[in-house]
Amino acid sequence: MLVLFESPAGYAVFKLLDEKKLAKVEDLYENFSTPEAASQVVKLKQFEKFEDTTEALAAATALIEGKMGKGLKKVLKKIVAKDAHAELAVADARLGNVIKDKLNLQCVHNSAIQELMRGIRAQFESLAPGIPSKELTAMTLGLAHSLSRYKLKFSPDKVDTMIVQAISLLDDLDKELNNYIMRCREWYGWHFPEMGKIVQDNLAFAKTVKLLGDKTNSATMDFSSILTEDLEEQVKAAAEISMGTEVSTEDIENITYLCDQVIEMTEYRTQLYDYLKNRMQAIGPKPVGACRCQTHCTCRLTDELGQASCFNSTNRGKALFRALKARKDTPKYGLIYHASLVGQSNAKNKGKIARMLAAKCSLAVRYDALGEDGSAESRAISGTGKGRAKFDKYRNKSEVIQYDASMDSTLPSGGKKRKFNDDDEGAAPKKIKTAEEEGPDEATIKAEEESGMAEEETKQEPTTPSSEKKKKKKKKKEKQEEEA
């Protein structure tokens, strides 16, 4: 059996002298306690030295990715030419599969091979006498520095770190900006409280306060560059009858300085949002939503390996630990459930939409992180794959459904039912047609119907015993009168 050993100096191929020693894995490391004992277990057969650090770095990166470099391929071809039927012990199972597929060389990897590699690494200086110890130490240190620099340079986390920091700064800016504008509104509200209700936009409010200063200057001010004509008229009208207190010039100056800070922070927030949107457009589906998911997952490659259920429960850490301490039900939803788009739907459908959106996010992030297509065009994930995504069907449309009064009756109606209006209450009641106003046919039909109803009523009336006695008495009186 041959053993392939990768070192910072080059590739070494050893020959295992006694394969029976691999049967006892626990005692295998004792055979490498001294250089003399190690030489009785393995023997150096071939050594391919690296020319420089660049070649060593290329070989190391190829081995980390489970690939076979040019130098390793050259060494293995020599082995195949001499010992084609020999087994090759390797430290990496993925590398063994690649060697087996390309060179048809039988590779072995198990726990005994791992212990064998440990022993060879401990006594490598004595087993490979052609390399001085100082040179081997220098090559090991140089390769370690080069490999770390390579990983840092081409790390996929590098772009993610910039995005995570940017979205964190955006959240902090929103909090501070909200505190500043609320303080500005409350501070200036003592002087001109009516303007806070008229001007709702925060940036417009700060610009108006900076331009206006004292409310007594409103009559001569022109707010057309900040406010609309309607709002400008309302501000000027409210300033004339304002019930706010008088303030000094020094107070107005300090409020103006605060407005300057609000305007600068708002402009910087807009610039930061545009930068973040452009940066995320190439690697994420929805810029800000993907940023927030990525911030809580710390890395885009962590996102893509996560399941949809993990996506759905992102950012629920505080609520989760609070529920665990109180021994209550843990929260099912997190960042996606509380998104603005999901919040537009009904409470019954929020959970379903969050779960479906989490599944789509999981697919989209995997495609963006690992896909080779660099285009950032939005396309539908399911259904027609070539069709562009239609975002209108995901938005909530407020439809008012009116009640149809004609559906109350199942009988066929000749015309529409008259709708009841409040104006009809004072209207005069309709006249009832008499037999004279009606036609002769209608009058006869009604008379027949009334007579038929009367006959039915007489038939339905039950006969009582008192009426029968009266009839008998009448018959007796009639007979007596006839006899008389």
Residues of the chain with CATH 1.10.287.4070: 160-279
Cβ–Cβ < 8 Å for 143, 53? yes
Per DSSP, the three-state class of 13 is strand
The string of DSSP codes covering 285-337 is SSHHHHHHHHHHHSSHHHHHHS-HHHHHTTT-HHHHHHHHHHT-PPP---TTT
Give kind and range of the element (H or E) at residue 46.
strand 42-49
Predicted confidence at residue 298, as pLDDT, reads 44
pTM above 0.75, yes or no: no
Q: Using one digit for the tens of pLDDT, what is the confidence trace for 264-312? A: 999 999 999 888 888 777 565 454 455 455 444 544 444 444 455 555 5
**pLDDT at residue 205 greater than cutoff 60:** yes
Q: 2-153, which class in CATH?
A: alpha beta
CA distances to 260, 415, 421, 423, 432 from 427, in Å? 66, 22, 11, 7, 15
Closest CA to 366 of 305, 311, 313: 305
d(CA 53, CA 154): 18
The string of DSSP codes covering 189-231 is HTT-THHHHH---HHHHHHHHHHH-SGGGGGG---TTTS-HHH
Q: Using one digit for the tens of pLDDT, what is the confidence trace for 363-420? A: 776 776 666 565 555 555 555 444 444 545 445 555 555 556 666 655 555 555 555 5
d(CA 362, CA 345): 22
Residues of the chain with CATH 1.10.246.90: 286-372
CATH number of 286-372: 1.10.246.90
Residues of the chain with CATH 3.30.420.220: 2-153
d(CA 308, CA 356): 9
Give kind and range of the element (H or E) at residue 89.
strand 88-89
Q: Phi, psi at residue 127, to the nearest 5°? A: -75, -25
d(CA 377, CA 369): 15
Q: Averaged over 57-69, what is the pLDDT?
A: 83
d(CA 292, CA 72): 44
Q: Using one digit for the tens of pLDDT, what is the confidence trace for 320-348? A: 556 666 776 655 566 677 676 777 778 77
Per DSSP, the three-state class of 478 is helix
Q: Which tokens in the block code for residue 31?
A: 């055979």
> How far, rounded to the nearest angstrom, does the alpha carbon of residue 457 sit from its chain's CA centroid?
76
Beta bridge partners of 46: 13
Predicted confidence at residue 451, as pLDDT, reads 57
Cβ–Cβ < 8 Å for 74, 55? no
CATH number of 160-279: 1.10.287.4070
